Amino acid sequence: MSALHIRRDTRRHLRRTTELPVIVRDPAGTSQRAIHFPQVEISSGGAFLATDLLFEPGEHLELELILSAKQSTRVVARVVRVNRDPGVREESGALSNPPGVGLEFLDPGPEIKALFPEQDG
């Protein structure tokens, strides 16, 4: 019998799931790759990017979040969690626990915080 690993939810911030274009760069600016994530879980404290492009825990990334055709914001984030498992297909067809990276925003600016006014205080 195998042991079942249950991960405790330690989120401090309310998350929203949205479609959001994101440009990922390394903080030194030596490489840039535009990636459109079909589904992004984002909060004022970080994000989960469902992707097969996996990074390493502790790695720092610069994200440019494209909020609209005329507005974007940049934030530096640290990779805090990597999921390499393929996920589980539910009866509804949705993929639960998809592969991807959990990111913590290191210094979210006012543009990020403004997306979550219910968390002021």
- Looking from the CA of 20 toward its CB, the CA atoms found within 13 Å total 23
Mean pLDDT of the chain: 76
pLDDT tens digits, 100-121: 899 999 988 888 878 777 655 4
Residue 7: predicted pLDDT: 41
pLDDT tens digits, 1-46: 434 333 444 555 566 677 778 888 877 766 666 666 666 788 888 9
- Domain segments of the chain as ranges: 16-101
* Contact partners, residue 82, CB within 8 Å, separation at least 6: 54, 55, 56, 57, 100, 101, 102
* Contact partners, residue 46, CB within 8 Å, separation at least 6: 13, 77, 80, 102, 103, 104, 105
**The one-letter amino acid at 40:** V
pLDDT tens digits, 41-80: 888 889 988 887 768 899 998 888 888 888 888 899 999 9
pTM here is: 0.74
Evaluate the CA torsion angle 73, 114, 19, 43 in order and state its sign: positive
- CA–CA separation, 3 and 96 (whole Å): 20
CA 55 from centre of chain: 12
CA 63 from centre of chain: 10
